[in-house]
Amino acid sequence: MGYTIPQNWNDEAMEYVNRLTDKINVGWDGENYYLSEWNTQFLGRLKDKMIAPSFKYEAFLDNEDIIATIEGYELDVEKFWFALLYIYDITMDFGINAADASKTDYDILVEIEDYLENHPQAVLYLSDDKEIRKSYRYETNSPVILQNLRRFVRQELDKYQEPPQLKVWTEDILQRNYTESLGAAQQQVLMYKLFKVLFDLLGLPDLRAKKGETVSYSKMLLISRIIYFCRLTTNESFTVDSSSLKGILKQYGNFNFNQRHPKTYAGGLILPKEEGE
Protein backbone atom coordinates (compact mmCIF):
# COMPACT_ATOMS: atom_id res chain seq x y z
CA MET A 1 0.00 0.00 0.00
CA GLY A 2 1.36 3.40 -0.91
CA TYR A 3 0.31 6.89 -1.88
CA THR A 4 0.28 8.80 -5.15
CA ILE A 5 2.43 11.92 -5.32
CA PRO A 6 0.38 14.88 -6.63
CA GLN A 7 1.29 15.93 -10.14
CA ASN A 8 0.80 19.66 -9.58
CA TRP A 9 0.89 22.07 -6.66
CA ASN A 10 -2.84 22.79 -7.12
CA ASP A 11 -3.81 19.13 -6.86
CA GLU A 12 -6.58 18.65 -4.27
CA ALA A 13 -4.28 16.49 -2.14
CA MET A 14 -2.04 19.55 -1.66
CA GLU A 15 -4.76 21.66 -0.03
CA TYR A 16 -3.35 21.60 3.53
CA VAL A 17 0.20 22.13 2.23
CA ASN A 18 -0.86 25.12 0.14
CA ARG A 19 -2.82 26.74 2.94
CA LEU A 20 0.08 26.37 5.35
CA THR A 21 2.55 27.72 2.76
CA ASP A 22 0.59 30.93 2.28
CA LYS A 23 0.72 31.55 6.03
CA ILE A 24 4.31 30.73 6.96
CA ASN A 25 6.29 32.15 4.02
CA VAL A 26 6.02 35.29 1.93
CA GLY A 27 8.47 35.58 -0.93
CA TRP A 28 10.61 38.70 -1.46
CA ASP A 29 12.76 39.41 -4.52
CA GLY A 30 14.38 42.54 -3.08
CA GLU A 31 11.72 44.87 -4.41
CA ASN A 32 8.33 43.15 -4.33
CA TYR A 33 6.46 40.47 -2.45
CA TYR A 34 5.31 37.42 -4.37
CA LEU A 35 3.66 34.08 -3.70
CA SER A 36 5.79 31.56 -1.87
CA GLU A 37 7.30 28.67 -3.81
CA TRP A 38 7.77 26.42 -0.81
CA ASN A 39 4.87 24.19 -1.84
CA THR A 40 6.34 23.61 -5.31
CA GLN A 41 9.77 23.02 -3.78
CA PHE A 42 8.24 20.43 -1.48
CA LEU A 43 6.46 18.73 -4.37
CA GLY A 44 9.64 18.70 -6.44
CA ARG A 45 11.55 17.14 -3.56
CA LEU A 46 8.86 14.47 -3.23
CA LYS A 47 9.06 13.62 -6.92
CA ASP A 48 12.86 13.51 -6.81
CA LYS A 49 12.72 11.24 -3.73
CA MET A 50 14.70 13.76 -1.70
CA ILE A 51 12.33 13.35 1.23
CA ALA A 52 12.99 9.93 2.68
CA PRO A 53 11.92 9.80 6.34
CA SER A 54 12.37 6.68 8.42
CA PHE A 55 8.60 6.43 8.98
CA LYS A 56 6.30 5.05 6.29
CA TYR A 57 2.82 5.82 5.00
CA GLU A 58 1.62 2.37 5.97
CA ALA A 59 2.76 2.93 9.56
CA PHE A 60 0.93 6.27 9.54
CA LEU A 61 -2.31 4.59 8.47
CA ASP A 62 -1.80 1.88 11.09
CA ASN A 63 -1.31 4.38 13.92
CA GLU A 64 -4.79 4.11 15.41
CA ASP A 65 -4.38 6.97 17.89
CA ILE A 66 -3.28 9.52 15.28
CA ILE A 67 -5.76 8.43 12.61
CA ALA A 68 -8.68 8.37 15.09
CA THR A 69 -8.02 12.00 16.06
CA ILE A 70 -7.62 13.12 12.44
CA GLU A 71 -10.87 11.44 11.43
CA GLY A 72 -12.57 12.71 14.59
CA TYR A 73 -11.93 16.24 13.34
CA GLU A 74 -13.18 15.16 9.89
CA LEU A 75 -9.84 15.92 8.27
CA ASP A 76 -8.75 14.26 5.05
CA VAL A 77 -6.16 11.60 5.92
CA GLU A 78 -4.28 11.84 2.59
CA LYS A 79 -4.10 15.64 2.70
CA PHE A 80 -2.91 15.40 6.29
CA TRP A 81 -0.18 12.94 5.28
CA PHE A 82 1.25 15.39 2.76
CA ALA A 83 1.07 18.20 5.32
CA LEU A 84 2.91 15.94 7.80
CA LEU A 85 5.66 15.24 5.24
CA TYR A 86 5.86 18.95 4.44
CA ILE A 87 6.16 19.99 8.09
CA TYR A 88 8.70 17.25 8.72
CA ASP A 89 10.80 18.39 5.74
CA ILE A 90 10.71 22.02 6.87
CA THR A 91 11.64 20.98 10.41
CA MET A 92 14.64 19.01 9.16
CA ASP A 93 15.71 21.81 6.81
CA PHE A 94 15.61 24.42 9.57
CA GLY A 95 16.92 22.02 12.21
CA ILE A 96 19.92 20.41 10.53
CA ASN A 97 22.89 22.25 8.99
CA ALA A 98 21.22 25.63 8.61
CA ALA A 99 22.78 29.07 8.97
CA ASP A 100 22.12 31.65 11.65
CA ALA A 101 20.58 34.67 9.96
CA SER A 102 19.98 36.69 13.11
CA LYS A 103 22.67 39.17 12.04
CA THR A 104 23.07 40.71 8.62
CA ASP A 105 26.40 41.39 6.94
CA TYR A 106 25.97 45.05 7.87
CA ASP A 107 25.42 44.16 11.54
CA ILE A 108 28.54 41.99 11.60
CA LEU A 109 30.67 44.65 9.90
CA VAL A 110 29.59 47.27 12.44
CA GLU A 111 30.40 44.92 15.33
CA ILE A 112 33.87 44.14 13.93
CA GLU A 113 34.64 47.82 13.35
CA ASP A 114 33.50 48.74 16.88
CA TYR A 115 35.55 45.95 18.41
CA LEU A 116 38.73 46.85 16.52
CA GLU A 117 38.30 50.50 17.40
CA ASN A 118 37.93 49.77 21.11
CA HIS A 119 40.59 47.05 21.25
CA PRO A 120 43.80 48.39 19.65
CA GLN A 121 45.72 45.32 20.90
CA ALA A 122 43.22 42.85 19.40
CA VAL A 123 44.43 39.44 18.24
CA LEU A 124 42.86 37.70 15.24
CA TYR A 125 42.02 34.01 15.76
CA LEU A 126 41.34 31.46 13.02
CA SER A 127 40.00 28.10 14.07
CA ASP A 128 37.92 25.17 12.85
CA ASP A 129 36.97 24.32 16.41
CA LYS A 130 34.08 26.03 18.12
CA GLU A 131 35.83 26.08 21.49
CA ILE A 132 38.99 27.49 19.84
CA ARG A 133 41.36 25.06 21.48
CA LYS A 134 44.95 26.15 21.13
CA SER A 135 46.02 23.17 19.06
CA TYR A 136 43.31 23.97 16.50
CA ARG A 137 43.75 27.69 16.06
CA TYR A 138 45.95 30.18 14.34
CA GLU A 139 46.41 33.62 15.83
CA THR A 140 48.09 36.81 14.75
CA ASN A 141 48.35 40.40 15.92
CA SER A 142 50.23 41.46 12.81
CA PRO A 143 49.69 45.22 12.31
CA VAL A 144 49.58 44.67 8.55
CA ILE A 145 46.84 42.03 8.73
CA LEU A 146 44.76 43.94 11.27
CA GLN A 147 45.12 47.22 9.41
CA ASN A 148 43.97 45.57 6.19
CA LEU A 149 41.05 44.04 8.06
CA ARG A 150 40.07 47.50 9.32
CA ARG A 151 40.40 48.89 5.78
CA PHE A 152 38.25 46.09 4.33
CA VAL A 153 35.52 46.57 6.95
CA ARG A 154 35.45 50.32 6.34
CA GLN A 155 35.28 49.83 2.54
CA GLU A 156 32.33 47.48 2.92
CA LEU A 157 30.51 49.84 5.28
CA ASP A 158 31.10 52.76 2.93
CA LYS A 159 28.93 50.96 0.37
CA TYR A 160 25.94 51.79 2.55
CA GLN A 161 24.86 55.42 2.38
CA GLU A 162 22.83 54.81 5.53
CA PRO A 163 22.00 51.81 7.72
CA PRO A 164 19.71 49.50 5.70
CA GLN A 165 16.07 49.42 6.80
CA LEU A 166 15.72 45.83 5.63
CA LYS A 167 17.91 42.86 6.45
CA VAL A 168 20.65 42.64 3.82
CA TRP A 169 23.01 39.73 3.33
CA THR A 170 25.64 39.00 0.73
CA GLU A 171 24.14 37.54 -2.44
CA ASP A 172 26.60 34.68 -2.52
CA ILE A 173 24.90 32.00 -0.43
CA LEU A 174 28.12 29.99 -0.49
CA GLN A 175 29.40 32.44 2.10
CA ARG A 176 26.74 31.21 4.53
CA ASN A 177 27.95 28.84 7.23
CA TYR A 178 25.46 25.96 6.92
CA THR A 179 26.70 24.04 9.92
CA GLU A 180 24.38 24.96 12.78
CA SER A 181 21.97 22.24 13.89
CA LEU A 182 19.23 22.50 16.47
CA GLY A 183 18.80 20.09 19.33
CA ALA A 184 15.97 17.57 19.33
CA ALA A 185 13.92 19.69 21.74
CA GLN A 186 14.03 22.74 19.46
CA GLN A 187 13.07 20.60 16.47
CA GLN A 188 10.08 19.38 18.47
CA VAL A 189 9.10 22.98 19.22
CA LEU A 190 9.28 23.92 15.54
CA MET A 191 7.13 20.95 14.50
CA TYR A 192 4.61 21.86 17.20
CA LYS A 193 4.40 25.47 16.03
CA LEU A 194 3.95 24.50 12.38
CA PHE A 195 1.14 22.10 13.20
CA LYS A 196 -0.48 24.67 15.47
CA VAL A 197 -0.53 27.16 12.57
CA LEU A 198 -2.07 24.49 10.34
CA PHE A 199 -4.76 23.63 12.90
CA ASP A 200 -5.62 27.31 13.32
CA LEU A 201 -5.89 27.69 9.54
CA LEU A 202 -8.18 24.67 9.32
CA GLY A 203 -10.33 26.13 12.09
CA LEU A 204 -10.25 23.03 14.25
CA PRO A 205 -12.69 23.49 17.13
CA ASP A 206 -12.17 22.35 20.71
CA LEU A 207 -13.96 19.00 20.74
CA ARG A 208 -14.58 16.66 23.63
CA ALA A 209 -15.00 12.91 23.42
CA LYS A 210 -18.58 11.73 23.70
CA LYS A 211 -19.61 9.14 26.27
CA GLY A 212 -18.14 5.80 25.29
CA GLU A 213 -15.60 7.27 22.82
CA THR A 214 -11.94 6.42 23.33
CA VAL A 215 -10.56 8.90 20.81
CA SER A 216 -8.56 11.88 22.09
CA TYR A 217 -9.48 15.28 20.68
CA SER A 218 -6.49 16.98 22.29
CA LYS A 219 -4.68 18.80 19.49
CA MET A 220 -1.54 19.07 21.59
CA LEU A 221 -1.54 15.32 22.27
CA LEU A 222 -2.00 14.73 18.53
CA ILE A 223 1.09 16.81 17.79
CA SER A 224 2.95 15.07 20.62
CA ARG A 225 2.13 11.69 19.09
CA ILE A 226 3.18 12.89 15.63
CA ILE A 227 6.52 14.09 17.05
CA TYR A 228 7.09 10.59 18.41
CA PHE A 229 5.89 9.01 15.16
CA CYS A 230 8.37 11.16 13.19
CA ARG A 231 11.10 9.97 15.58
CA LEU A 232 12.05 13.39 16.84
CA THR A 233 11.96 11.75 20.27
CA THR A 234 12.26 8.25 21.66
CA ASN A 235 10.36 9.19 24.81
CA GLU A 236 7.23 7.01 24.73
CA SER A 237 5.47 9.35 27.17
CA PHE A 238 4.84 11.61 24.13
CA THR A 239 2.24 9.04 23.00
CA VAL A 240 0.42 8.95 26.34
CA ASP A 241 -0.08 12.58 27.31
CA SER A 242 1.19 16.03 26.34
CA SER A 243 3.01 16.86 29.58
CA SER A 244 6.45 16.13 28.11
CA LEU A 245 5.78 18.38 25.12
CA LYS A 246 4.47 21.11 27.40
CA GLY A 247 7.73 20.94 29.36
CA ILE A 248 9.74 21.30 26.14
CA LEU A 249 7.63 24.27 25.06
CA LYS A 250 8.11 25.96 28.42
CA GLN A 251 11.88 25.67 28.15
CA TYR A 252 12.45 26.27 24.43
CA GLY A 253 9.23 27.84 23.18
CA ASN A 254 10.72 31.33 22.76
CA PHE A 255 13.38 30.26 20.25
CA ASN A 256 13.26 32.50 17.17
CA PHE A 257 13.10 30.12 14.20
CA ASN A 258 12.44 33.09 11.90
CA GLN A 259 16.17 33.87 12.05
CA ARG A 260 17.26 30.53 10.65
CA HIS A 261 18.59 30.42 7.09
CA PRO A 262 18.16 26.88 5.65
CA LYS A 263 19.34 25.49 2.33
CA THR A 264 15.98 24.57 0.81
CA TYR A 265 13.12 26.55 2.31
CA ALA A 266 14.84 29.90 2.06
CA GLY A 267 13.23 33.31 2.07
CA GLY A 268 12.04 33.58 5.64
CA LEU A 269 9.88 31.52 7.95
CA ILE A 270 7.02 33.52 9.45
CA LEU A 271 5.69 32.06 12.68
CA PRO A 272 3.20 33.97 14.82
CA LYS A 273 4.32 34.67 18.35
CA GLU A 274 2.64 32.75 21.13
CA GLU A 275 0.98 34.63 23.97
CA GLY A 276 3.59 35.63 26.51
CA GLU A 277 6.51 35.54 24.03
What pLDDT does 33 receive?
Answer: 64
**Residue 264: Cβ-neighbour burial (10 angstroms; 0-12, 13-18, 19+):** middle
**Residue pLDDT, tens place only, 18-46:** 999 989 987 655 556 667 899 999 999 99
| Euclidean distance between CA atoms 74 and 57, whole angstroms | 19
What pLDDT does 201 receive?
Answer: 95
What pLDDT does 32 receive?
Answer: 62
Name the more confident of 141 and 16. Answer: 16
Name the more confident of 169 and 199. Answer: 199
| Euclidean distance between CA atoms 260 and 171, whole angstroms | 16
In the three-class reduction of DSSP (H, G, I as helix; E, B as strand; rest coil), residue 148 is classed as helix
Q: Percent of the chain beyond pLDDT 90?
A: 53
As a whole number, mean pLDDT of residues 159-168 equals 68
Q: How distant, in Å, are the alpha carbons of 83, 116, 121, 268 from that of 146?
A: 51, 9, 10, 35
Task: Indicate if the pLDDT at residue 136 is higher than 70.
Answer: no
What pLDDT does 137 receive?
Answer: 74
Task: Indicate if the pLDDT at residue 172 is higher than 50.
Answer: no
**Mean pLDDT, all residues of the chain:** 86
What pLDDT does 276 receive?
Answer: 43
Of the spans 20-24, 61-65, 211-215, which averages the highest pLDDT?
Answer: 61-65
Task: Indicate if the pLDDT at residue 132 is higher than 60.
Answer: no
**Residue 54: Cβ-neighbour burial (10 angstroms; 0-12, 13-18, 19+):** exposed
CB 222 within 8 A of CB 199: no
Task: Please report the sign of the dihedral spanned by the C-alpha atoms of residue 58, residue 64, residue 68, residue 70.
Answer: negative
Entry pTM: 0.74
What pLDDT does 272 receive?
Answer: 74
CB 22 within 8 A of CB 14: no
Name the more confident of 175 and 219. Answer: 219
What pLDDT does 270 receive?
Answer: 85
Question: Who contacts 134 (Cβ-Cβ below 8 Å, separation ≥6)?
Answer: none
**Residue pLDDT, tens place only, 224-276:** 999 999 999 999 999 999 999 999 999 999 988 887 878 889 877 888 765 44
Selection from 184, 239, 190, 188 nearest residue 216 by Cα: 239
- Beta strands 260-261 and 99-100 are antiparallel
| Euclidean distance between CA atoms 270 and 194, whole angstroms | 10
Task: Indicate if the pLDDT at residue 152 is higher than 60.
Answer: yes
**Residue pLDDT, tens place only, 101-130:** 666 778 888 889 999 989 888 888 876 555
What pLDDT does 105 receive?
Answer: 74
